[in-house]
Amino acid sequence: MSYNAWIFTIGNEVVHGRVLNTNAFYLGRRLTLLGYFVVGNISLVDDVDIVARFLDYVLTYRPMVIVTTGGLGPTYDDRTLEAVSKATGRELELNREALEMIEKKYRSLNLLLTDERRKMAYLPRGSIPIPNPIGTAPGCWLEINHTVIISLPGVPREMEVMWESWVEPRLRSMGPSIHIVERNIRSIGIPESSLAPIVKDILKKFPDVYIKTHPRDEERDRYVIDIYIMYSNRSREIAEKIVNEVVVMLQNEIRKRYGVNIITNI
């Protein structure tokens, strides 16, 4: 069973560099901490055909989860669910439950239910609407073969509330029961290219551990390299033991070859 996940962010403002994509950052982190392996995140302009084709393509990887944000609102260019519908063959239909959510919201705001507002109640057939406690557009949960496609609004505060209150509990119970242990250590005085053979050797011994070196660009001349180590296991004890072994090994090898101590606590 592979717990692969993909993230889509829809909106010209993200692709054209007017808005920093904090949604993909947030979702990547949350999914990873739930034990899912995020393979990619894809940002696309507001174009139904392109979004549908990429969804279609990503579905061929048979991921467990696809999360989309953006394009759920009342305006003419909010067409993400149309793309989900195209990619899955589930036509859009008026969802009673979603309509009730929207009616209730606009009643409380003393506003009429115009066509633009009613549009947000059309979900792909078989979807479950996700309540939006802050804004107006409901989200959408659609299970299709091996994959659940979760569509959320692009407004960060709405997306996060819906994720934390409704989506995450469900993904947690579907996901792997694992413990993730992470460590960040820092090496000073050795170029990244000199650390590379050490990391390579350690990965031969621990092929399932994830190790990545990050040169801190503002201090390149001093060769400040942060090393990130992550390992997950059903047992927290084992996960911690393995990560500690890797850190000790890194420490010893770096001292042996370059006479330098690493900082293990950053």
Residues contributing to the site for its own copies (CB under 8 A): 12-22, 24-32, 38-45, 47, 50, 54, 57, 73-77, 109, 111, 114, 116-117, 134-136, 155-158, 191-197, 199-200, 203, 210, 212-215, 217-218, 220, 228
> Would you list the DSSP string of 206-246?
-TTSEEEEEE-GGGGGGTEEEEEEEEEESSHHHHHHHHHHH
**Smaller CB distance to its own copies: residue 115 or 173?**
115
The answer to whether residues 54 and 44 touch, using CB atoms and an 8 Å cutoff, is yes
Three-state secondary-structure class, residue 42: strand
Find tokens 């000199």 and name the residue.
194
Minimum CB–partner distance for residue 74 and its own copies (Å): 4
Minimum CB–partner distance for residue 61 and its own copies (Å): 8
**Smaller CB distance to its own copies: residue 21 or 147?**
21
Minimum CB–partner distance for residue 106 and its own copies (Å): 8
Q: Which two tokens stand for residue 250?
A: 């890194």
Minimum CB–partner distance for residue 207 and its own copies (Å): 12
**Smaller CB distance to its own copies: residue 94 or 143?**
94
Helices 236-258 & 192-205, crossing angle to 10 degrees? 140
CA atoms within 13 A on the CB side of 28: 11
**Smaller CB distance to its own copies: residue 100 or 219?**
219
Minimum CB–partner distance for residue 168 and its own copies (Å): 14
**Smaller CB distance to its own copies: residue 36 or 90?**
36
**Smaller CB distance to its own copies: residue 131 or 135?**
135
Residues 200 and 197: their CA atoms lie apart, in Å, by 5
Number of CB atoms found within 10 A of residue 257's CB: 13
Bridge partners for 180 per DSSP: 232
Residues 35 and 46: their CA atoms lie apart, in Å, by 30
Minimum CB–partner distance for residue 167 and its own copies (Å): 15
Closest CA to 122 of 151, 143, 146, 159: 151
**Smaller CB distance to its own copies: residue 90 or 117?**
117
The answer to whether residues 178 and 235 touch, using CB atoms and an 8 Å cutoff, is no
Minimum CB–partner distance for residue 67 and its own copies (Å): 12
Minimum CB–partner distance for residue 126 and its own copies (Å): 26
**Backbone torsions φ then ψ of 257, nearest 5 degrees:** -80, -35
**Smaller CB distance to its own copies: residue 80 or 90?**
80
- Which amino acid would we find at residue 75? T
